[in-house]
Structure 1
């Protein structure tokens, strides 16, 4: 999103020239200031701000949340996967849980995350040493302390991303120039998490709330600090794949960390700084353009995209999202992230507004018509190029990547509360139902009854997070920390087979749907959905009723629906769902072979 404030801030790094890009992409490289000494940089509020913006800069781009970390690493659960045939040496190997250590998609993002840590380490060392920090005016000290809290938080975000993908890793908390031997061995992730949790506790006292700073959601505020601390605490208290024994394990002290998560989320809720957007659809339209449609500030933290380039912008809406033919007036969009067919039927058929926002079961042809896709070719509907003002062949659309929103805070609170007690409290139930009521606005009678027992409420949270956060890079990591990834993969395969056979809960799913192509309205999602000309009635009926005709009606085109799900899609060597997954091994990625070649103290581990 081309947020004017963050664009201006990012531009300052180019003018100040504080932290130059490293000469190559290796994760052991040392960051060098360009023409200004580090001491001089941090004796200026302006230069210090530019240095901190240089840390933010490592969130985005093709090797950050602009593409690979957002669209390749997490898309391998029961909501979405990467399109195309399996190959261990490219992006499809990541989604299929079969990435080779020689897969180059594992290289540059790993390096960029460590480059972000290096930039943060420089700021974290020098900001507290600055005279402005210790002896400056009250205004200068306030700004410098805020900036210090921001970089502590950004470093925690980089480490969190590294750990959830690779497990135990080298822990570097000083600038590379201060470390005699950069060939660090792996540190246990719990020790790293504990440092991060302490850092974030410090940062929460330094960084103001959104209303106090006036910062956009692309900058760290107190709610960002507390929300990230809650998320890391749940990861620390959850299951993870250990080196020895090579098993998914949750430590005995896990409830201490659930308590941290609950308390931090409770603080955010009590602050009333954020709330749910009344419109689930507008939440995602907001990250597409400069017009904010988020009156309650549900977006707590976004990785900001701008500039139309591979370094600072994103390919969101092009590399994921609705597929668009290049001959249309909107310009081409490839949409390389596809929905799992069973995900469509996890949503209520009538009342849940999230399904048609999350799942794009249509594409746009060269004549600006919307055409229903085959059932195994649905895309991520939260990202739509036609929601931006950019058309043509441009792949960088200025769409932000969502890192944290208020709905997540509510559901983390509800989950932690339930885990710490014998049953969910009234507050936990209210937090859960607040999210659910937004999804069922106008159809509250279809919400169902909230379970009040501990196990039932946990299962409801697991389901609700699936429905709420589809395509947002959350689901796979949730399943890992719950130790449910293997279980859900097995269950999804079983569900896909039932869908293929038209049995069980899928007994009324048609083999085919019949559609007439008609123009894209580019209005609200409900209006677009109702405008479809599907034979047999609206989507809520036609896709939930057995085939109404034996042959294609005049004027309609037949699209494969249930018949699109076959054995190749379920277990095939090219298309099979999560086909290379192995429990107690594939919950983490292998280290890229080039990383091992750089550091003789590292080894592969985890069975690779």
Structure 2
């Protein structure tokens, strides 16, 4: 039998709900009825773990949904040459419907929805509600809230990548016809926004539920509701007519985002900014909480396998050569101009952009400007050495700094100008980035347009390589404009004109011992880069000399950006982007063929 959209999502998924058996020992549900799964709180929790498991792994936020689908926009791109049938096709906006990278993530999201639907249906029917203690009933309510939240996350991910999709809010067995057509995304948004309001009343705050950041707390429920509300208020590619259009009644949804973010901010004891930007990401490499719980929710990774673990730090992140202590990284490249969006005083620069690699002798050496990597993730920050690809690095789905910036954006839209509270929220984020150099923070605009543009830029700097930027630009209807602007900046960078007039053509450096215990900034400072001007922090902002100094190695900096990097059909940046089409991905062709009610749309 051909797979339909729903049947492919595990049919009843009961036979595979033990995918988290690494730390649970659940019963084999292939011999258990649907209702029996929810006869106790412990069995219900096991079912809920099965829903959580669909976040992880190579086809979830362990690789494809986190590292391949979000690129590229004006910050990062997948390495390698264009091919419409692999990950590079997705990165260059040139994916074919036959691209197999489109298949399993789509199916996995629906599998998560199916599992969530089983919990959402059966938890209220459980005998625990009839005979259980008040504590047990409260626990079951919590599980229900978590299942509602997970289903909302799965649908949000489907919508932001594929637009209108088939909608199921009950288990497959309860449908007479599994060949479902697409449902308008606004209908789905309305449902999951309402579900999250319900979940918010059921799920406790982090401290109340003794919740780690790998489990949903009230903070994430509210933050996800704010994020989805901003998506509903913003632009998206519509089917009829096929063009970018803003959602109806945007002020209603800005207000939801404002209220939810404000409530999180009012519970500073639950989540707040970590004084150290770097420490937030270091914690993800050891499956620990950062000191102030800035990471509100992350996808936990474990098990050393493609189903439940992650390749974060191996596929992406700082490049470590094959014969170094740590093999991996480098699969995603930062655009050369992204480095120059940061000032030299911004502590986020060397975290977001890795300008060096770790060579086979475990030394740091500068790479050319088209080989920069994302640097928040590093295999050398884990305790794993050798060729292993699964590093158990968690993926952050929501941070408190994102909440602050969403609040400021919603405030500005509601009031027509940013309030003092909105300006202060942005200032918190900005001040952390400039710790030790607060005099360099600059002035935050106080008019609506100026403040909005400031938010656009600040989110670029704060949330780099976190799988957010492309979707931000889409909901602002800025993706086309930013891709065009990025090409213009790359051209100016290559020619050394405009804002890049003083960027060096080449750099000259000596290798240094790489010490992963040092900060990202210190790793860069430790590399001896030749400079005659006195203040070595200026080396990236002053023209270079022509001859290679004795004892130094020459590396192409501006010289590395050739015309092929910008406009070549195989190597060019975002070469296949088309506005009013490529904002969304095609659905994998076999899935279309399996459901006669499902259409491809958007010109694919």
TM-score, normalized by length of structure 2?
A: 0.95
1-side partners of 2:164 and 2:409: how far apart? 26
Q: How does 1:102-113 map to 2 (within 5 A)?
A: 102-113=98-109
1-side partners of 2:142 and 2:20: how far apart? 17
Cα deviation for residue 161 of structure 1 reads 0.2
Q: 1:564 aligns with which of 549, 560, 564?
A: 560
State whether structure 2 residue 214 is matched by structure 1 residue 204: no
Cα pair 1:133 1:145 within 8 Å, conserved: no
State whether structure 2 residue 343 is matched by structure 1 residue 343: no
Cα deviation for residue 374 of structure 1 reads 0.6
- What's 1:17 paired with? 27
How many residue pairs get aligned? The number is: 583
Cα pair 1:13 1:54 within 8 Å, conserved: no
Classify 1:542/1:13 alpha carbon distance in 2 versus 1 (closer, same or farther; 3 Å). closer
Cα deviation for residue 251 of structure 1 reads 2.8
Q: Aligned-pair RMSD on alpha carbons?
A: 1.3
2-side partners of 1:562 and 1:345: how far apart? 12
Runs of at least 4 residues off by over 6 Å = none
Q: How does 1:347-386 map to 2 (within 5 A)?
A: 347-349=342-344, 351-386=345-380
2-side partners of 1:45 and 1:539: how far apart? 61
2-side partners of 1:407 and 1:234: how far apart? 16
Cα deviation for residue 438 of structure 1 reads 0.5
| TM-superposition CA deviations, 1:553-596 (whole Å, max 9, x none) | 11111111001111100111111111000000000000110110
Q: 1:446 aligns with which of 440, 449, 474?
A: 440
Q: 2:71 aligns with which of 47, 66, 75?
A: 75
TM-score, normalized by length of structure 1?
A: 0.94
SS of the counterpart of 2:454? helix
- Structure 1 range deviating more: 211-220 or 515-524: 515-524
| TM-superposition CA deviations, 1:166-213 (whole Å, max 9, x none) | 000000111001111100000000000000001000000000000000
Cα pair 1:117 1:155 within 8 Å, conserved: yes
Cα pair 1:12 1:50 within 8 Å, conserved: no
Q: 1:474 aligns with which of 468, 472, 478?
A: 468
| TM-superposition CA deviations, 1:210-246 (whole Å, max 9, x none) | 0000110111100010000000000011000000111
State whether structure 2 residue 44 is matched by structure 1 residue 34: no
Q: 1:413 aligns with which of 407, 414, 419?
A: 407
- What's 1:142 paired with? 138
Classify 1:553/1:218 alpha carbon distance in 2 versus 1 (closer, same or farther; 3 Å). same
SS of the counterpart of 1:605? coil
1-side partners of 2:22 and 2:332: how far apart? 34
- Structure 1 range deviating more: 131-140 or 318-327: 131-140
Q: How does 1:111-130 map to 2 (within 5 A)?
A: 111-130=107-126
Classify 1:13/1:327 alpha carbon distance in 2 versus 1 (closer, same or farther; 3 Å). closer
Cα deviation for residue 539 of structure 1 reads 5.9
- What's 2:15 paired with? none
- What's 1:24 paired with? none
2-side partners of 1:290 and 1:170: how far apart? 35
- What's 2:489 paired with? 495
Cα pair 1:305 1:400 within 8 Å, conserved: yes
Cα deviation for residue 35 of structure 1 reads 2.3
- Structure 1 range deviating more: 76-85 or 518-527: 518-527
Cα deviation for residue 13 of structure 1 reads 7.3
- Structure 1 range deviating more: 442-451 or 127-136: 127-136
State whether structure 2 residue 282 is matched by structure 1 residue 282: no
State whether structure 2 residue 505 is matched by structure 1 residue 508: no
Q: 1:151 aligns with which of 129, 134, 147?
A: 147
SS of the counterpart of 2:195? helix
Q: 2:239 aligns with which of 223, 240, 243?
A: 243
- What's 1:530 paired with? 525
1-side partners of 2:106 and 2:407: how far apart? 31
| TM-superposition CA deviations, 1:306-343 (whole Å, max 9, x none) | 0110000000000000111121122x104200001110
2-side partners of 1:41 and 1:539: how far apart? 64
Classify 1:61/1:231 alpha carbon distance in 2 versus 1 (closer, same or farther; 3 Å). same
